[in-house]
Chains A and B, each alone.
Chain A
Amino acid sequence: MSLLNASGCLDALAAPEVTAELDAYVTKTVTPLPREGNDAPRIAETDSGMLNSIGLQNPGRDAFVADVLPRLAHLRLWVSVGGFTAAEYADTCAVLDARAEVEQLELNLSCPNVDEAADSAAEIVAACRAATSKPLWAKLSPALPDLPEVARAVQAAGADGLSLVNTLRGLALDERTLRPRLGRGVGGYSGPALKPVALAAVFAAYGATGMPIVGMGRVWSGSDALELIAAGATHVALGTVLFSDPGAPARIRAELAAETAALGLSDPAEVHGRAHADPLSIRTTLDRTSRVERAKSLEI
Chain B
Amino acid sequence: MRKRERLSVVAVEAVGPYVLLRVERGRLDPGVPGQFFMLEAPGRVLPRPMSLCLAPPAELAFLFDPVGPGTRALAEVEPGDALHVFGPLGNGFSLDVARPLLVGGGIGVAPLPYLSAALGEPRALLGFRTEWHAEAAALVPNAEVVIDPVLVTEALEPGRDVLACGPEPMLEAVGDLCPGAQLAWEAPMACGYGGCYGCVVDVDGRRARLCVEGPVLVAA
Q: A10 an interface residue at 8 Å Cβ cutoff?
A: yes
Interface residues of A in 1-46 (CB under 8 A from B): 8-11, 13-15, 18, 28, 36-37, 40-46
Q: A240 an interface residue at 8 Å Cβ cutoff?
A: yes
Name the one of A18, A45, A242 contacting B70, with C-beta atoms under 8 angstroms: A45
Q: B198 contacts which chain A residues (CB < 8 A)? A: 41-43, 52, 54
Name the one of A8, A37, A40, A243 contacting B187, with C-beta atoms under 8 angstroms: A40
The reply to whether B197 and A41 form a contact with Cβ atoms under 8 Å apart is: no
Q: A226 an interface residue at 8 Å Cβ cutoff?
A: no
Interface residues of B in 32-71 (CB under 8 A from A): 40, 44-47, 69-70
The reply to whether B188 and A244 form a contact with Cβ atoms under 8 Å apart is: no
Q: Which of B129-137, B139-147, B199-207 interfaces with chain A?
A: B199-207
A14 to B196 alpha-carbon distance, docked (Å): 11
The reply to whether B207 and A36 form a contact with Cβ atoms under 8 Å apart is: yes
Interface residues of A in 102-154 (CB under 8 A from B): none
The reply to whether B45 and A37 form a contact with Cβ atoms under 8 Å apart is: no
The reply to whether A43 and B196 form a contact with Cβ atoms under 8 Å apart is: yes
Q: A246 an interface residue at 8 Å Cβ cutoff?
A: yes
**Min distance, Cβ A280 to any Cβ of chain B, angstroms:** 37
Q: B194 contacts which chain A residues (CB < 8 A)? A: 11, 13-15
The reply to whether A43 and B189 form a contact with Cβ atoms under 8 Å apart is: yes
Q: B72 an interface residue at 8 Å Cβ cutoff?
A: no
A18 to B3 alpha-carbon distance, docked (Å): 11
From B45, B46, B196, name the one whose CB has the most chain A CB atoms within 10 angstroms.
B45
A11 with B199, Cβ < 8 A, contacts A45-B70, A192-B45 known: no
Q: B4 contacts which chain A residues (CB < 8 A)? A: 245-247
**Min distance, Cβ B66 to any Cβ of chain A, angstroms:** 15
**Min distance, Cβ B91 to any Cβ of chain A, angstroms:** 13
Interface residues of B in 173-205 (CB under 8 A from A): 187-191, 193-201
The reply to whether A42 and B45 form a contact with Cβ atoms under 8 Å apart is: no
Q: B197 contacts which chain A residues (CB < 8 A)? A: 8, 28, 37, 42, 54, 57
Total A residues in contact with B, Cβ cutoff 8 Å? 34
Q: A240 contacts which chain B residues (CB < 8 A)? A: 45, 190
From B44, B46, B197, B198, name the one whose CB has the most chain A CB atoms within 10 angstroms.
B197
The reply to whether A243 and B206 form a contact with Cβ atoms under 8 Å apart is: no
Q: A297 an interface residue at 8 Å Cβ cutoff?
A: no
**Min distance, Cβ A227 to any Cβ of chain B, angstroms:** 19
Q: Look across to chain B and name the residue whose beta carbon is closest to the beta carbon of A37.
A: B207
Name the one of A11, A40, A246 contacting B201, with C-beta atoms under 8 angstroms: A40
Q: A199 an interface residue at 8 Å Cβ cutoff?
A: no
Chain B binding surface SS class: loop
Q: B207 contacts which chain A residues (CB < 8 A)? A: 36-37, 57
Q: B114 an interface residue at 8 Å Cβ cutoff?
A: no
Q: A50 an interface residue at 8 Å Cβ cutoff?
A: yes
Q: B201 contacts which chain A residues (CB < 8 A)? A: 40
**Min distance, Cβ B197 to any Cβ of chain A, angstroms:** 5
The reply to whether A52 and B45 form a contact with Cβ atoms under 8 Å apart is: no
Name the one of A15, A41, A49, A50 contacting B193, with C-beta atoms under 8 angstroms: A15
The reply to whether A41 and B188 form a contact with Cβ atoms under 8 Å apart is: yes
Q: B191 contacts which chain A residues (CB < 8 A)? A: 242-244, 246
Which residues of B are interface residues toward A (Cβ below 8 A)?
A: 4, 40, 44-47, 69-70, 84, 86, 187-191, 193-201, 206-207, 209, 212
Q: Give 21 A-B contacts (CB < 8 Å), ordered by A residue.
A: A8-B197, A9-B195, A13-B194, A36-B207, A40-B187, A41-B187, A42-B198, A43-B189, A45-B70, A47-B69, A49-B45, A50-B46, A50-B190, A52-B190, A191-B45, A240-B45, A240-B190, A243-B190, A243-B196, A244-B40, A244-B46
8 further interface pairs, Cβ-Cβ under 8 Å (given A10-B195, A242-B191, A243-B47): A14-B193, A15-B193, A41-B188, A41-B198, A42-B188, A43-B189, A43-B199, A243-B46
